[in-house]
Chains A and B, each alone.
Chain A
Amino acid sequence: MSSCFLKVQNLRKSYGGLVHVLDGMNFQMEPKERIVVIGPSGSGKSTLLRCIMGLEKIDDGRIEFEGARYIEAQANRRKDNLVDTAVRAKIGMVFQHYTLFPHLTVLGNLVLSPIRARGESRASATERAMQLLKRLGLDNRANAYPGMLSGGQKQRVAIARALLLDPKIMLFDEVTSALDPELVAEVEGLMLELAEQKMSMMIVTHDMWFAKRIATRVIFCADGHIVEDAPPAKIFSDPAEPRTADFLKKVLHVDTVS
């Protein structure tokens, strides 16, 4: 067994055997890579991330993480295909719609999982959470409820909530898509900071300029396949595949990202 950081092999998923959302996806990822997944809607980008998080049942294929068996397609499994739940704890995910719990304060949202799922003491979890919030400039909102925050603040809190669990890799599923345009920068700024700290990331986004800025590698998906997998400089200026070029032309209205 190769001891690759993240290895996705022959991942397949369909709805009712008709719509093949993932039609045999293969790729490997090294630590500290930042892979941005782009592609038309329905191309399976979000589903790919959700599979890696273990939120979706797959029809075929396997995922290994740090050389360990993590997810494998098995017959007769009701919900997911998790081989090892402990592996999932090393993966953090942030969603499009924040998913902060409205009945808990910002601090309450952050410490919920460390205390209830990991058995950390309230004192220690609170201290770590406050340090993290301070670093993100959100410590003054620790006792606010999510309903009182702006969209950008909500999403930064959601990122903090995932970070507090010390993930080895962070998955970002269109985290700026629901934000007002003027609030996008603060969330992207935080992600760039994480990039500087060498966090391994997989990002699904429609923002090509941001993709170019943060990615070490870009994967272009269409119809459940990986069409092209290249460094950002290459894919945005000189895409090898006509489908990639066509897609970029449509979303950018120009030939290349300058």
Chain B
Amino acid sequence: MNGYTWDSSVVFSSLPQLMSGLAVTLQLTGICAVIGLVGGFLVCLMAMSRILPLRWIAVIFIELFRCTPALVQIIWIFYCVPFFFGIFMDPFTMAVLALGMNITAFNAEAYRAAIQAIPSSHYDACTALGLSSLKRTIYVILPQAVLLAIPVLLTNTIGLLQQTALVAIVAISDLMYQGKSLATQTYRPIEIYSTVAFIYFILSLPLSQVVGFCEKRLRARLA
């Protein structure tokens, strides 16, 4: 391999710094995942609302975030929001804002697809059973929508975990950022980046297993 020898000691000596980066990555993922689960549902309700202005706002929001690269969104929010709106926040909050809005847009679509997958005959059945539209939403539509949306929501959350690596570019000390600085400090990019990749993989793998498990369970339940 071009005379390059693998040095495991670099991996171990850089672990503490990588772990501190990992803590930031997990924090960022956790906060944005919660924002996405709740915000996504609210934006979905707006997008399906009968009130046209609400619907337009939601649709514009969804399409803006779905049709631009996440990296561009992060950089844009980081540099342009302070410039255009005069809002100054610490970098971590900026990152939460960018990634949170991104996953909110994707989750809103997941919820919407799930709600649309519920057959219209269920609405008739609710009427025949005397359930008001509010009770229908709470007891029949919402639980089914969440169940149907779970696999896609989880997939989006795995995507979020990977996407947090993008915030390294705006100097947030996440796992990727720490890896980058260690790689330049130690001149051992091969060992460092391999370790970073391995950590992301180890984190994501169980999550994607959970997705597979959920899909199987759901198929049995909703057959």
Contact = CB atoms under 8 A, between A and B. Distances in A.
22 contacts: A50-B124, A53-B124, A53-B128, A55-B124, A89-B130, A95-B121, A95-B128, A99-B121, A99-B122, A101-B122, A102-B221, A102-B222, A103-B143, A103-B144, A103-B222, A116-B131, A116-B135, A117-B130, A117-B132, A117-B135, A147-B223, A161-B129
B129 A102 contact: no
Given A88-B130, A102-B221, A147-B220, A95 B125 contact: yes
The binding surface of chain B is classed by DSSP as: helix
A118 B130 contact: yes
Interface in B137-189: 139-140, 143-144, 147
Nearest to B124: A55
The bracket for how many chain A residues form the interface is: 20 to 34
Contacts of B221: 102-103, 145, 147
A117 B220 CA distance: 29
Contacts of A101: 122, 125, 140, 144
B136 to A, nearest CB: 9
Given A95-B121, A117-B131, A165-B130, 6 more contacts: A50-B124, A95-B128, A99-B121, A112-B129, A112-B139, A117-B130
B141 to A, nearest CB: 10
Interface string A151-186: 000000000011001000000000000000000000
Nearest to A54: B127
B129 A113 contact: yes
Interface in A43-69: 50, 53-55
B139 A116 contact: yes
Interface in B185-223: 220-223
Interface of A: 50, 53-55, 88-89, 91-93, 95, 97, 99, 101-103, 112-113, 116-118, 145, 147-148, 161-162, 165
A161 B223 CA distance: 20
Given A88-B130, A113-B129, A97 B119 contact: yes
Contacts of B122: 99, 101
A224 B61 CA distance: 47
Residue of B124, B129, B220 contacting most chain A CB atoms (<10 Å) = B129
B128 A92 contact: yes
